[in-house]
Amino acid sequence: MKLSARNVLAGKVVDVRRGATTSHVKIQIAGGAIVTASITNEAVDELALKAGDTASAIVKASDVIVGKG
């Protein structure tokens, strides 16, 4: 698979929680951080996503917001 996005975070699916129309997919990436993506249930079904699968979080955004605590 070729992508134009440069921010590809490879990891392992640790949880998929289905809602009425969307699912929250948690992917554990290098270093132990977890990235959560909200995607349609249809996409989860098409990708056959489940805990234990190898997957990537692909980030493509026009803005990055930084906050300081």
What CATH number corresponds to the domain at position 15? Answer: 2.40.50.100
Residue 68 lies in a domain: no
**Prediction pTM value:** 0.84
Residue 1 lies in a domain: no
The domain total for the chain is 1
Query: Starting from the edge strand earliest in sequence, which strands make up the sheet with 54-59, in order?
Result: 34-40, 22-29, 7-18, 54-59
Place of tokens 């699968």: 53
Residue 2 lies in a domain: no
Residue 20 lies in a domain: yes
Which domain does 11 fall in, by range?
7-59
Residue 12 lies in a domain: yes
10-residue stretch averages of pLDDT, the chain, 69 residues long: 84 98 97 94 97 93 80
Residue 30 lies in a domain: yes
